[in-house]
Structure 1
């Protein structure tokens, strides 16, 4: 598959290496493709890797991975060209982090809104799937955590797109839990803050931290479905008792 990586930071580079290792053709898109770090990444990633502008990466790909910082994502989408991504699957890895008050960051949006929902609106003709946001870049490809294969939570509105992303995640070494539509990004993004705040406290992405996230897969799935589908008419207190 042809993969376009929109973003050149740690996440984009780690996922790009994962995709090329599995035999996919990857083009990394950047505002400045001549950066030394991008040249170094292409050399490291091998013959399946190339670099270009955001627009070139979006036009090249069958599936795009959006992994810029939150403050730059809307501009990156405009530079990539929404028309270049129309009809395509876009994996949204982004956590909407706000560093305006220093470290640790807080969420710029959340609880009644999410980055995932913003991105789906900005890319209204694309099929956005939230994935990879709940772990740090060192553990995205072939994770090795205590307690066995870890779970990756995903959400999105298109079932076929989620099936494709599920297959990719399994090839990366993940089990997958689909928690519903893109509105469920409201829960995945705050969930990521658990390890992000822990990282800034200890300055390490400790695999042990993720075992706690993995242990709550069933609970998170149940809460999302009760709150967002709420076909039972349960009140909040009853939902709390159910979990």
Structure 2
């Protein structure tokens, strides 16, 4: 992988594994100095930062739980202290649990709302003052905001529907600064969340496969480009026709 000289900066919330790690690698390849948060996967986070450094890039791993507002604020402060500005924010941190409504406990409901909705909003709110005019904000939602074929998804679907709605209002708030705000809605992707279900999910897809994390990262890369500057407030579904 050839990494371009870094001239831009990207802060990724939830970047140590899966789609987040693929996005961190792609943004580093595109010439960004990247900071990314993690919660429990310290070894993976360190290995990812080290790999990017070995390839000539710059990456900063920051421990921060998106359920904790103070941790979000501190992560932004640490990033800005290191890199001075933010060109791109990617909010990928998320919590996935499945349970039928009669079995959802209050702490399960509160945890998913705290990470998947409040955490997304607070991450954008904390970062916004430091984003350069003309910068980019991208959230990672889910195609379940459109449709889910599985019982037990009500809380997760609610949170991802909220993100799809959220970006519209935030996009209007930040439009005077030409900061675009968009939401990517992946379908089933080959990450550890779906471990053990890849074959089943592949059979449900019109393309008979799930996404690679690098494909989602490619859409992040596109939304960061100059030619994507007229796209804002949009939710872009990338699910191989899963929701058709």
The structure whose RCO (Cα within 8 Å, separation 6+) is larger is 2
The two structures have a TM-score, normalised by structure 1, of 0.50
The two structures have a TM-score, normalised by structure 2, of 0.50
